[in-house]
Amino acid sequence: MVYFQKMTPQGYKQIEAEIAELKKDRPRRIKALQEARSLGDLSENSEYTEAKKELRHLESRLRYLGKQLKYAEIVEPTNNGKVDLGKHVRLKFEDDETSDVYEIVGRLEADLDQGKISFDSPLGVAIMKHSAGEVVTVEAPAGSYQVTIEAIL
Protein backbone atom coordinates (compact mmCIF):
# COMPACT_ATOMS: atom_id res chain seq x y z
CA MET A 1 0.00 0.00 0.00
CA VAL A 2 1.41 3.37 -1.04
CA TYR A 3 0.87 6.18 1.45
CA PHE A 4 0.98 9.69 0.00
CA GLN A 5 2.22 12.54 2.18
CA LYS A 6 -0.06 15.59 1.95
CA MET A 7 1.74 18.92 1.78
CA THR A 8 1.34 22.46 0.57
CA PRO A 9 3.04 23.71 -2.61
CA GLN A 10 5.36 25.79 -0.39
CA GLY A 11 6.36 22.70 1.59
CA TYR A 12 7.19 20.87 -1.66
CA LYS A 13 9.34 23.80 -2.79
CA GLN A 14 11.17 23.86 0.57
CA ILE A 15 12.12 20.20 0.16
CA GLU A 16 13.30 20.85 -3.40
CA ALA A 17 15.44 23.75 -2.14
CA GLU A 18 16.98 21.61 0.61
CA ILE A 19 17.81 18.88 -1.93
CA ALA A 20 19.48 21.47 -4.18
CA GLU A 21 21.58 22.76 -1.25
CA LEU A 22 22.65 19.26 -0.25
CA LYS A 23 23.63 18.43 -3.83
CA LYS A 24 25.74 21.59 -3.99
CA ASP A 25 27.50 20.54 -0.76
CA ARG A 26 28.15 16.95 -1.91
CA PRO A 27 31.38 17.68 -3.91
CA ARG A 28 32.92 19.44 -0.90
CA ARG A 29 32.16 16.47 1.33
CA ILE A 30 33.56 14.00 -1.20
CA LYS A 31 36.74 16.07 -1.49
CA ALA A 32 37.10 16.18 2.31
CA LEU A 33 36.76 12.38 2.40
CA GLN A 34 39.39 11.96 -0.32
CA GLU A 35 41.81 14.30 1.47
CA ALA A 36 41.30 12.48 4.78
CA ARG A 37 41.84 9.12 3.07
CA SER A 38 45.18 10.30 1.70
CA LEU A 39 46.48 10.92 5.23
CA GLY A 40 47.28 7.25 5.67
CA ASP A 41 46.20 4.60 8.17
CA LEU A 42 42.39 4.55 8.05
CA SER A 43 41.98 2.64 11.31
CA GLU A 44 43.29 5.55 13.38
CA ASN A 45 42.29 8.41 11.09
CA SER A 46 39.59 10.43 12.84
CA GLU A 47 39.37 12.92 9.95
CA TYR A 48 38.53 10.07 7.59
CA THR A 49 35.95 8.61 9.99
CA GLU A 50 34.27 12.00 10.45
CA ALA A 51 34.28 12.84 6.72
CA LYS A 52 32.81 9.42 5.90
CA LYS A 53 30.11 9.89 8.55
CA GLU A 54 29.19 13.36 7.22
CA LEU A 55 28.98 12.12 3.63
CA ARG A 56 26.86 9.15 4.69
CA HIS A 57 24.52 11.52 6.57
CA LEU A 58 24.20 13.78 3.51
CA GLU A 59 23.40 10.82 1.25
CA SER A 60 20.86 9.50 3.74
CA ARG A 61 19.14 12.89 3.95
CA LEU A 62 19.01 13.12 0.15
CA ARG A 63 17.35 9.68 -0.06
CA TYR A 64 14.83 10.61 2.64
CA LEU A 65 13.90 13.92 1.00
CA GLY A 66 13.68 12.27 -2.41
CA LYS A 67 11.15 9.80 -1.06
CA GLN A 68 9.15 12.63 0.48
CA LEU A 69 8.86 14.26 -2.94
CA LYS A 70 8.13 10.96 -4.68
CA TYR A 71 5.19 10.27 -2.38
CA ALA A 72 4.02 13.87 -2.01
CA GLU A 73 0.42 14.79 -2.63
CA ILE A 74 0.37 18.53 -3.18
CA VAL A 75 -2.88 19.99 -1.89
CA GLU A 76 -4.04 23.37 -3.14
CA PRO A 77 -6.38 25.21 -0.78
CA THR A 78 -9.95 25.54 -1.98
CA ASN A 79 -12.13 28.59 -1.48
CA ASN A 80 -15.04 26.79 0.19
CA GLY A 81 -15.11 28.60 3.53
CA LYS A 82 -13.83 25.55 5.42
CA VAL A 83 -10.56 24.99 7.26
CA ASP A 84 -8.26 23.01 4.99
CA LEU A 85 -4.62 22.35 4.19
CA GLY A 86 -2.80 25.51 3.10
CA LYS A 87 -5.22 27.93 4.75
CA HIS A 88 -4.57 30.32 7.63
CA VAL A 89 -7.00 30.37 10.55
CA ARG A 90 -7.44 32.63 13.54
CA LEU A 91 -8.37 30.60 16.60
CA LYS A 92 -9.56 31.76 20.00
CA PHE A 93 -8.65 29.44 22.84
CA GLU A 94 -11.64 29.42 25.18
CA ASP A 95 -9.72 28.51 28.34
CA ASP A 96 -7.58 31.67 28.39
CA GLU A 97 -9.36 33.90 25.84
CA THR A 98 -6.24 34.28 23.65
CA SER A 99 -6.24 34.27 19.85
CA ASP A 100 -3.55 33.05 17.48
CA VAL A 101 -3.21 32.65 13.72
CA TYR A 102 -2.00 29.33 12.32
CA GLU A 103 -1.33 27.93 8.89
CA ILE A 104 -2.59 24.39 8.32
CA VAL A 105 0.22 22.38 6.69
CA GLY A 106 1.39 18.83 6.02
CA ARG A 107 3.10 16.76 8.70
CA LEU A 108 6.63 17.48 7.43
CA GLU A 109 6.06 21.23 7.30
CA ALA A 110 4.72 21.66 10.84
CA ASP A 111 6.63 24.18 12.93
CA LEU A 112 4.77 25.69 15.87
CA ASP A 113 7.38 28.46 16.26
CA GLN A 114 6.43 29.64 12.76
CA GLY A 115 2.70 29.24 13.39
CA LYS A 116 2.39 26.13 11.21
CA ILE A 117 0.34 23.22 12.55
CA SER A 118 -0.13 19.84 10.93
CA PHE A 119 -3.57 18.91 9.64
CA ASP A 120 -3.26 15.61 11.54
CA SER A 121 -2.20 17.10 14.89
CA PRO A 122 -4.89 17.07 17.60
CA LEU A 123 -5.67 20.76 16.94
CA GLY A 124 -5.57 20.26 13.17
CA VAL A 125 -7.89 17.25 13.30
CA ALA A 126 -10.38 19.14 15.45
CA ILE A 127 -10.67 22.18 13.16
CA MET A 128 -10.38 20.56 9.71
CA LYS A 129 -13.46 21.04 7.47
CA HIS A 130 -15.14 23.36 9.99
CA SER A 131 -16.24 26.94 9.27
CA ALA A 132 -15.62 30.31 10.89
CA GLY A 133 -17.76 30.85 13.97
CA GLU A 134 -17.78 27.20 15.03
CA VAL A 135 -16.59 26.05 18.45
CA VAL A 136 -14.76 22.72 18.37
CA THR A 137 -13.32 20.48 21.05
CA VAL A 138 -9.69 19.47 20.71
CA GLU A 139 -8.82 16.02 22.10
CA ALA A 140 -5.16 16.39 23.08
CA PRO A 141 -2.97 13.96 25.05
CA ALA A 142 -2.94 16.36 28.03
CA GLY A 143 -6.74 16.73 27.98
CA SER A 144 -9.46 18.30 25.92
CA TYR A 145 -10.08 22.01 25.38
CA GLN A 146 -12.25 24.18 23.16
CA VAL A 147 -11.34 26.64 20.43
CA THR A 148 -13.47 28.99 18.37
CA ILE A 149 -12.61 29.36 14.70
CA GLU A 150 -12.75 33.15 14.49
CA ALA A 151 -11.74 33.49 10.83
CA ILE A 152 -10.39 31.58 7.87
CA LEU A 153 -7.87 33.87 6.23
What local confidence, expressed as pLDDT, does residue 27 receive? Answer: 95
- Are 104 and 70 in a shared domain? no
Give, in degrees to the nearest 5, the angle at Cα 31 between 25 and 32.
90
Identify whether the C-beta of residue 139 lies closer than 8 Å to the C-beta of residue 124: no
If asked whether residues 95 and 63 sit together in one domain, one would say no
- List of residues 6+ apart from 8 with CB closer than 8 A: 74, 75, 77, 85, 86, 105, 106, 109
Q: Are residues 61 and 98 in the same domain?
A: no
The answer, yes or no, to whether residue 46 has pLDDT greater than 80, is yes
- Name the phi and psi angles at 141, rounded to 5: -55, -35
Map residue 28 onto helix, strand or coil.
Answer: helix
Last residue of a domain, one of 26, 43, 74: 74
- Structural domain including 111 reads 88-152
Give the 3-state DSSP-derived string for 76-96, with helices as H, strands as E and coil as C. Answer: CCCCCCECCCCCEEEEEECCC
For residue 79, being part of any structural domain is answered with no
Query: Does one domain contain both 61 and 119?
Result: no
Domain-located, residue 34: yes
Same domain, 38 and 16: yes
pLDDT tens, 70-126? Answer: 999 999 888 899 999 999 999 999 999 899 999 999 998 999 999 999 999 999 999
- Strands 5-7 and 143-152 turn out to be unpaired
| Shared-domain flag, residues 16 and 57 | yes
pLDDT at 1: 64
Considering the domain architecture, whether residues 44 and 95 belong to the same structural domain is answered as: no
Q: Distance between CA 120 and CA 99 in Å, rounded?
A: 21
Q: What is the CATH number of the domain that holds 120?
A: 3.10.50.30
**pLDDT per residue as tens digits for the range 124-150:** 999 999 999 999 999 999 999 999 999
Residue finishing a domain among 47, 74, 101: 74
pLDDT band at 63 (very low <50, low <70, confident <90, very high): very high
Q: State the CB neighbour count (10 A cutoff) for residue 43.
A: 7
Q: Quick one: 67 and 9 in the same domain? A: yes
How far apart CA 14 and CA 95 sit, in angstroms, is 35
Could you tell me the sign of the dihedral formed by the alpha carbons of 112, 115, 116, 117, in that order?
A: positive
Q: How, if at all, do strands 98-105 and 116-118 pair?
A: parallel
When divided into structural domains, the chain yields a total of: 2
pTM of the model: 0.79
